[in-house]
Amino acid sequence: MKFYLTPGSCSTGIHILLEELELVFEAHIINLLAGDHQKPDFLAVNPKATIPALVLDDGTVLTEFAAIAYWLARSYPKAQLLPGDVAGDARAIELIDYVVGTLHGQGFARIFTTVKFSPNPADFEAVKAQGLSIVQQGFQLVNDLLPSQGYALGSFSIADAALFYVEFWADKSDIVLPENCLAHYRLMCSRPVVRRVLMEEGYRPT
């Protein structure tokens, strides 16, 4: 398989899952700041110009965090990356969707890629402030759903990998995580695979 990633991005969550499964894959770094995602070679792989992207052994391509995470969990069921019952699996997808769609797509996107929400520099601070508000409210909502200790759904799942990457962004952005989210982030940072992935991507584990 070929895995297209940007260190420290949402693809870090998929990187964690690939390492958890001990899968063999080629890692291809996409430098978003340099515009690698808009180059013809990558667009031929993923016309959406987004990461993560995973090229499977048969040459087909999977994109979008939730789809890749779900495929990994269902393809390697012995790893138990999903709860295994309909309600539990739905809860995992529910959390992933909220992380990717709201915390990432509406909140952090306004903070990190402000110009996409307004081309006018005079609006930038207001856009970033709106993004921060979405992030803080979002983390509080997730916090109220999380257990006070342990993983999001009891045992480690694809939902934890998703939640981790936005908690990681919060940590690196000096955004205070509420209590249960902070406990979850610290638990994830203590996981050997997570620590190894962070080091591989050029970060010092917390």
Sequence letter at residue 166: V
CA–CA dist 192, 184 (Å, integer): 15
Residue 148 CB contacts under 8 Å (≥ 6 apart), including other chains: 179, 180, 183
- At 14 the three-state DSSP class reads helix
CA–CA dist 152, 134 (Å, integer): 21
For 205, phi then psi, to 5°, come to: -60, 140
DSSP codes, 85-111: SHHHHHHHHHHHHHIIIIIIIIIIHHH
Catalytic residues: 9
Q: Is 171:185 a contact under the CB 8 Å cutoff?
A: yes
Residue 71 CB contacts under 8 Å (≥ 6 apart), including other chains: 54, 62
